[in-house]
Amino acid sequence: MEIGIDSFAAVLKNNQGETISSEQSIRELLERIQKADEVGLDVFGIGEHHRKEFLDSAPTMILAAAAARTKRIKLTSAVTVLSAIDPVRAFQSFATLDLISQGRAEMVVGRGSFTDAFPLFGLKLEDYDELFTEKLGLLLKIRENEIVNWKGKFRPALYNQAIYPRPLQAKLPIWIGVGGTPQSFVRAGSLGLPLMVAIIGGETHRFRPLIDLYRNAGLKAGHSLETLQVGLHSLGYVAETTEEAHEEFYPGYAEMFTNIGKERGWPPVQRSHFDSQTTKLGAFLIGNPEEVAEKILRHSEALGGISRVTFQMDNAGLTHEKLMKAIELIGTKVSPIVNGNK
């Protein structure tokens, strides 16, 4: 199983609780990606947001900088908000990243959990699903064909148009990032694309029916089970002890999600809710290395087998030093246990 980290390039605080500069936040993020590579993690993803608290509005720029500082780790989006970007430019950016990284680029495409990109780029929110469907079709067509003929509703048509550069990999990996919409699972399966499931709350095993929908749709469309990979994106954090992990993660988590809740009409985060998510069945991968590794294996069994897990850690107000230590523990202790190399 591949183990990795996802980041939203959050603006962090120092040990004195002071917000650090954007420049320092980006520099330290690159250090964390380099650390993940050094400790043997398999993948590092950068999200896409257009908000003050996150610095990932141009994720391929961050990933390209990371490519120059790393040797083997896969570099991916987490996710590319495909509804709000031209698929031609998205493909060109990631094909270029693939060349820079010598074949380590991937994409996770989705519709995103925020709607900020729609007004920013002059798009209509009511076209939410139709935009994604059309643009995904074009992106996949570009991946398969150097010369493209295509016509759609939201973008000018392409007639015998060559799309360059081409990636180093013969087929640039494209995953579908999903939340909890059944149609999204079925679409990914029908297309035979690997699935990245964001589970940031509830009980992970409850997603099994949706993953079964994905696999059944894929098999019905003629794809093999080996092709229908499932990845899991979860809030997570690893420290030497479970108590340490919980006490360090909770304050920043509560602050961040309470602020988001004010925008969406959610109640303030309560400690009881957090504690329910750190139980054996809860979604959060927070605890000591052995506990977290065992939870990943339980999640995999409950979901019928998963091939990738990524930890989302830097939206909980943790310092760079704590995140670096967590990455080291995930690479040197969690991953070996999960993959039977302890």
Please write the tens of the pLDDT for every residue from 275-313: 999 999 999 999 999 999 999 999 999 999 999 999 999
| pTM recorded for the entire structure | 0.95
| pLDDT for residue 293 | 98
Distances (CA, A) of 286 to 206, 224, 239, 331, 341: 19, 33, 8, 15, 21
Q: Among 340, 231, 241, 234, which residue's Cα sits nearest to residue 289?
A: 241
HSE-up of residue 9 (Cα within 13 Å, Cβ side): 29
Show the domains of the chain with their CATH numbers.
2-338 (3.20.20.30)
Q: Given this model, what pLDDT does residue 116 score?
A: 86
Please count the residues of the chain. 342
Cβ pair 73, 104 in contact under 8 A: yes
pLDDT computed for residue 260 by the predictor: 85
3 state SS of 11:
coil
Are 312 and 200 within 8 A, CB to CB?
Answer: yes
Contacts 24+ apart (CB under 8 A), 90-94: 90/139, 91/139, 91/142, 91/143, 91/163, 91/172, 92/163, 92/164, 92/165, 93/60, 94/60, 94/167, 94/172
- pLDDT value of residue 111: 85
State residue 107's pLDDT score: 98
What span, in angstroms and rounded, lies between the C-alpha atoms of 10 and 335? 25
Burial state string for 270-288 with b = 16 or more CB within 10 A and e = fewer than 16: eeeebebbbeeebbbbbbb
Q: Which tokens is 285 given?
A: 């991968």
pLDDT score, position 342: 61
Q: In the predicted model, what is the mean pLDDT of the chain?
A: 95
Question: Which residues of the chain fall below pLDDT 70?
Answer: 342
**Which two three-digit tokens encode residue 76?**
């991916």
Structure tokens at 221: 């469309």
86-115 per-position pLDDT tens digit: 999 999 999 999 999 999 999 999 987 788
